[in-house]
Structure 1
Amino acid sequence: MPELHGLELHGRSAVVTGGARGIGAAIAQTLVKSGLGVVVADLLDSEGTTTAASLGTTAIFRHLDVTDEHGWQRVLDDAEANFGPLAVLVNNAGVLDVGGVESESPAMFRHVVDVNLFGAWLGMHLGASRLRANGDGVIVNISSTAGLMGYSGIAGYVASKWGLRGLTKAAALELGGAGIRVCSVHPGPIDTPMTAGFDMRITAGQPLPRFGEPAEVAAMVGFIVNEATYSTGSEFVIDGGATAGMALAASAQAHGARL
């Protein structure tokens, strides 16, 4: 049986943005269990500090605005100084604004794109050279089903997540020769603070009619890092089957419609 081209994780570091809570916190926990030292990076200082402390001595919290180049440099420096050469970068930080093409303000559209797309690009831009110097690595970009299909009323979010999907493929082409894999993850509705106000009925037409759990997304990320050694530029979908199609009767019932 051929040897798998996996990463050596022990004695190496990872950075997870948006790591203070929700999906990011679950990913940080999974990576710590894989043997990595993890920097939990977020704007939420109190929650981030608590999350990192709960993960033990192989995790630290660092404040990070993902649109800040100098902030990124400090976080990457701290990751390698505390835990060893960078092995994994997870771009999970994201914001959601409710607003369509007409109603969303220019300022908010730019903010969403800056955080969700530019922030991920900046992390890749600054982190790739470190991964290249270390001989291998994995970058995981947390996109969304909104990066695979359209949704009305969240124009900036959809644009940013489609952009992140494309950026993933461009980076995979550029970095594969250096042994660096780049993949995107596309969650559907996941039970996190971001979706706290969502109507639970939006999942009624899915084959699996429920919200997903952060731990389920984290397990997918763990698979990409540890097992998906021949995958790059790939899209990993975790959405309860939502993008497979919607069951018409259930969807209509959820919206109070009559067939």
Structure 2
Amino acid sequence: MSLLENRTAVVTGGAQGIGLAIARLYVEHGAKVVIGDLDEAAAKAAATELGNGAVGVRCDVVDAEEVQGLVQTAVDSFGSLDVFVNNAGITRDATMRTMSEEDFDLVIQVHLKGTWNGTRLAAARMREQKSGAIVNISSLSGKVGMVGQTNYSAAKAGIVGMTKAAAKEMAHHGVRVNAIQPGLIRSAMTEAMPQKAWDQKMAEIPMGRPGEPDEVASVALFYGSDLSSYMTGTVAEVTGGRFM
């Protein structure tokens, strides 16, 4: 079953990790996909790998003009914008005592302002066609707070509040806005953790294993498709039961 046939999706931060897994699954379900990433070469390489006419472009989500360009690329290339996934993100972990103001500001800018740019500019286009789904990637860190992540936890919690506010604003325009909070997902970044930190996190997961990027992607597919047609302003925890 092709859940996204004849639809166009944009995925920010889509050149690797969870973003690429989402883009790949969307293509498998028939979507035309535009990958936006700060690394233009990686975005284009990912698009080539995905096939099905996928397009890769450079996009700094903090820059509203570049995000608008991403929206326009989708419309110009494929004629519509049906799903927009705000996935781009960074980390600059440090305790409050040692975190620089620059690193606090940067994480807030990329995650919170970046998601705001994507949400508002995608919604502006979607309301014209009276349909669309926006999927915002938050984090379990935004629910419980993590040591060394006052910047990241604040930003990811903010994304949940923003998602709910935007969902209320856009519901009568036919646009749905939902969020996903992944927990410990296997990636190059998480597997580079010190063993002690990895073991501590694993001990908190009732299912006893990390998640895979594809397991986040499947929820993003659910939110981007008509399977979730009566859901907006919700938050799905993809955590293996960690911190229920």
With the shorter chain as reference, the TM-score category is: over 0.9
- Which of the residues 142, 148, 153 maps onto 2:148? 153
1:212 CA drift (Å) = 0.8
AA partner of residue 214 (structure 2): A
Asked if 1:18 is matched to 2:17, the reply is no
| Secondary structure of the corresponding residue to residue 185 of structure 1 | strand
Aligned to 2:68: 73
TM-score by length of structure 2 reads 0.93
- Which of the residues 53, 59, 70 maps onto 1:58? 53
AA partner of residue 111 (structure 2): N
For structure 1, the residue ranges without an aligned partner over 5 or more in a row are: 1-7, 245-259
Aligned to 2:203: 204
1:126 CA drift (Å) = 1.3
1:234 CA drift (Å) = 0.2
Aligned to 1:255: none
Identity %: 40
Asked if 1:173 is matched to 2:132, the reply is no
- Which of the residues 117, 123, 130 maps onto 1:128? 123
AA partner of residue 145 (structure 2): G
Paired residues for 1:173-252 under 5 Å: 173-198=168-193, 199=195, 200-201=198-199, 202-226=201-225, 227-244=227-244
| Secondary structure of the corresponding residue to residue 16 of structure 1 | strand
The structure number with the bigger radius of gyration is: 1
TM-score by length of structure 1 reads 0.88
1:52-78 superposed Cα distances (whole Å, 9 cap, x missing partner): 111113311000000111111211111
1:9 CA drift (Å) = 4.2
Q: Distance in 2 between matches of 1:63 and 1:168?
A: 25
Q: Are the aligned partners of 2:4 and 2:26 in contact in 1 as well (CA < 8 Å)?
A: no
1:65-115 superposed Cα distances (whole Å, 9 cap, x missing partner): 001111112111111111121000000001111112222110000000000
| Secondary structure of the corresponding residue to residue 109 of structure 2 | helix
Q: Distance in 2 between matches of 1:210 and 1:44?
A: 31
- Which of the residues 139, 146, 149 maps onto 1:144? 139
Aligned to 1:109: 104
1:45 CA drift (Å) = 2.5
Identify the range of structure 1 (26-35 vs 215-224) with the bigger mean alpha-carbon deviation: 26-35
Q: Are the aligned partners of 1:144 and 1:186 in contact in 2 as well (CA < 8 Å)?
A: yes
Q: Distance in 1 between matches of 2:142 and 2:53?
A: 33
Q: Distance in 2 between matches of 1:164 and 1:193?
A: 24
Q: Distance in 2 between matches of 1:144 and 1:203?
A: 16
For structure 2, the residue ranges without an aligned partner over 5 or more in a row are: none
Q: Are the aligned partners of 1:36 and 1:58 in contact in 2 as well (CA < 8 Å)?
A: no
Q: Distance in 1 between matches of 2:231 and 2:135?
A: 11
Q: Are the aligned partners of 1:32 and 1:58 in contact in 2 as well (CA < 8 Å)?
A: no
| Secondary structure of the corresponding residue to residue 20 of structure 1 | coil
Q: Distance in 2 between matches of 1:174 and 1:122?
A: 15
